[in-house]
């Protein structure tokens, strides 16, 4: 029997790269997967097709998880499609490297609004749908958090924040039977992925 049979997972930013691979692996283990995308419908549809051709269950759902209204819609669509949620993978993110003299408020907010605030608000909605059954949340961080690189001060700060949020939420949500962990990949050679994840 598949280890995730009967489970429902949302993977944000799953139209390519690490997110697509995670979505496909969860489906291979029996989970029904919501393949979230922001702009690449064709990429998400391709992921769904690969999953369903192998006998898995998946649907694509558009939502820019830096926008609260989109996040609300994403989980409403998840509930409509599968009725519940067991797993959230916070994979959606953006990176832009810039030397100090070129850092702007726009550069800062573009990354923090998606990588940090978006992750928090997505988790907030997911917890509501997970409910008393308990579940699992996986935050995709980066080695750039604990090991920042030059010209990546803002990006590295977002990923350090993700690591801190993960620890804090693991303590807060643990009593609710919701596990919270992070994964800190480095440069990925997955097709369609960008460094660092």
Where b means 16+ CB within 10 Å and e means fewer, 168-189 reads ebbeebeeeebebebebbeeee
- In tens, the pLDDT along 126-172 reads 999 999 999 999 999 999 888 998 999 999 999 999 999 999 999 99
Active site residue 82: no
Domains in the chain (CATH in brackets) are: 8-183 (3.40.50.720)
Q: Which two tokens stand for residue 52?
A: 């369903």
24-45 average pLDDT score = 98
The whole-model pTM stands at 0.93
Selected catalytic residue, list 37, 82, 95, 155: 155
| pLDDT in the model for residue 150 | 92
């Amino acid at each position: 029997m598949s280890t995730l049979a009967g489970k429902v997972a949302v993977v944000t930013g799953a139209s390519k790269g690490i997110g697509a691979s995670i979505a496909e692996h969860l489906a291979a283990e029996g989970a029904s997967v919501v393949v979230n995308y922001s702009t690449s419908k064709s990429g998400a549809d391709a992921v769904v097709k690969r999953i369903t051709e192998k006998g898995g269950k998946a649907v694509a759902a558009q939502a820019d998880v830096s926008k609260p209204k989109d996040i609300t819609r994403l989980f409403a669509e998840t509930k409509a499609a599968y009725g519940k949620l067991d797993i959230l993978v916070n994979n959606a993110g953006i990176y832009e490297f810039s030397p100090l003299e070129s850092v702007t408020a726009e550069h800062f907010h573009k990354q923090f609004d998606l990588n940090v605030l978006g992750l928090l608000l997505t988790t907030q909605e997911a917890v509501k749908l997970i409910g008393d059954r308990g579940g699992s949340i996986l935050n995709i961080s980066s080695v750039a958090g604990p090991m920042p690189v030059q010209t990546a001060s803002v990006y590295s700060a977002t990923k350090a924040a993700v690591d801190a949020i993960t620890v804090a939420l693991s303590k807060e949500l643990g009593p609710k039977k919701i596990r919270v962990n992070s994964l800190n990949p480095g440069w990925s050679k997955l097709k369609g992925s960008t460094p660092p994840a």
